[in-house]
Amino acid sequence: MTATTATLAAVTATGLASRHPAMDPLDPPSWSHLCHLVAHHRLQGLLVAAIQQGDIAVTAEQADAAAELHLEAMVHAVGLERELVRLSLRLRGVGIQHRVLKGPAVAHTAYADPALRVFGDLDLLVDGADMDRALAELSRAGYRPTQPRLRPGFDAEFGKSVSLANDEGLEVDLHRTLVMGPYGLLVDESELLAVGSAPLRIAGHQLPTLSLEQLFLHACYTAGIADIPARWVTLRDLAQLLLTTDVDTRAVRDLAGRFDAHALVAWAVIEAWDRLALADSPPLVAWARRHQPSPRDLRWRHAHTTGGYAPLAWASLSALPRLRDRVRFARALLAPSRSFLRARDETRMSWALRGARTLRRASGATP
Amino acid sequence: MGRAVDPSRAAGRFAARPDVITRTTSRGLVVWPLDEAAPMLLSPLAALVWEQLDVPADLDTLATRVRHRFEGGTAPDRARITSAVEHLVSQRLLEPVGPSSARREG
């Protein structure tokens, strides 16, 4: 482990009981690299906290630079939250049930001070049946999809999310489910929307978010398969939720069981505990280390790590129980809309050939 | 809102606006009221005053609360606190609440 990575780990684990040693100041090139990684992994708040608590030693100039990085991130965060309140009230106003996901939700429900948790965009979950109405409402609020959609109706039925941005560059991901690919197809979003939410109060407004258990499970999806290797901030979210909140881990396992996601929880928890070198070991960690993923779990994880859309799409077919859904899913992938292909500089033929090549490569490397 | 207030004369109470998004940083408190176009960065004293007025208070009560936060250190004097209140009122981050005898007289 390089000094930069060790410092990053110490920063991520600051305030938690961790076996990471206190770090000496980095030389200027390493510090510059660390700052880049801190911004990418959304750790600006934890960096300042780690400096204040003496978990990492820095020069006066480095402390100053860290404070500036944090200030910049916080100005962006309050801007995003202001937008979040506006959009949530707007969706509520037209009767669209929704939930705030990820950054702002975790910052206010799991961290003692939301300034510790940095985020760069907004994520909202809606029912697939409300996806088009929600997109229309966000369009009226100034948001446009950043990429053409695969096929009309695909996102509402099979997609993970639609990414949108406004003229000021603020980004919103409108989710139908928690993760792309087969595991995402097994998530019942109506169950996520049916359960009462954790308290999320911003600027005097109560906003709907997931329960602590659902937030934890979402972080497991993100760390377990969506981002491999996981962002440090997601690993911290997992540890933060498990060690400092009343999250009910039995309820987490029950929920994960209904979504066929036990393996994801195990992978994510083990990665968080190993990379953060956490000293406390709650029962869920012991359960995760005992858990044996099924051959199907290993195949699906492999599809996520192989890269490219085709292996993931192929794996997704097996998660769809009804033949007619498989046919509609395959047809959308094999014959995307012209605008979708044009945005990627593809023709139908080149798209099909590239998919076939990726699939062949992926199947050749299947564990 | 928009009405001139002289806190040094006002006997009224003040309260922090609730519709404000905030983040604490080592550079000061970042605040962004929902209906404003841009965020503001408050000095440590202004941030402290603003936070103490989460529960409405008059200037005497506010000064006591601020003094308690310094725990033996040198607390800011009344004039500095009043100046911070004036600044926050001008930024529309504080609202006068309850009757103010000074304004009633004026």
Interval A208-235: pLDDT, tens: 999 999 999 999 999 988 888 899 999 9
State the smallest CA–CA distance between residue B48 and chain A in angstroms. 16
Evaluated on CA atoms A291, A296, A299, A303, the torsion sign reads: negative
Question: Cβ A78–B19 below 8 Å, yes or no?
Answer: no
A204 chain-B contacts, CB cut-off 8 A = 18-19
State the smallest CA–CA distance between residue B89 and chain A in angstroms. 18
State the smallest CA–CA distance between residue A175 and chain B in angstroms. 25
The string of pLDDT tens digits covering residues A323-354 is: 998 888 888 888 888 888 888 888 888 887 87
CB contact, 8 Å: A165 with chain B? no
Cα angle: A159, vertex A162, A165; to 5 degrees: 170
B32 chain-A contacts, CB cut-off 8 A = 78-79, 81-82
Sheet holding A161-165, edge to edge: A98-101, A122-126, A171-175, A161-165, A144-145
List phi, psi (to 5°) of B53: -90, 15
Contact A18, A30 (CB under 8 A): no
Question: Cβ B25–A48 below 8 Å, yes or no?
Answer: yes
Preferred mutation among A53, A70, A87, A113 to probe B, highest tally of B CBs within 10 A: A70
**Per the structure block, which two tokens stand in for A295?**
């051959």
Give residue B103's pLDDT: 44
**Per the structure block, which two tokens stand in for A30?**
């390493």
**Per the structure block, which two tokens stand in for A307?**
């890269």
Q: Taking residues A23-51, what's their average pLDDT?
A: 94
Q: In whole numbers, what is the pLDDT of chain A averaged over residues? A: 91
Residue B30 Cα distances to A18, A67, A205, B37, B43, angstroms: 31, 13, 19, 14, 9
A153 vs A277, higher pLDDT = A277
* H/E stretch holding A99: strand A98-101
Contact A40, A119 (CB under 8 A): no
List phi, psi (to 5°) of B76: -65, 145
**Cα separation of A189 and A335, whole Å?**
27
The string of pLDDT tens digits covering residues A236-250 is: 999 999 999 999 999
Question: Cβ A78–B30 below 8 Å, yes or no?
Answer: yes
Q: Which amino acid is at A269?
A: V
Sheet holding B40-42, edge to edge: B20-25, B28-33, B40-42
Q: In whole numbers, what is the pLDDT of chain B averaged over residues? A: 81
**Cα separation of A120 and A13, whole Å?**
21
State the smallest CA–CA distance between residue B92 and chain A in angstroms. 15
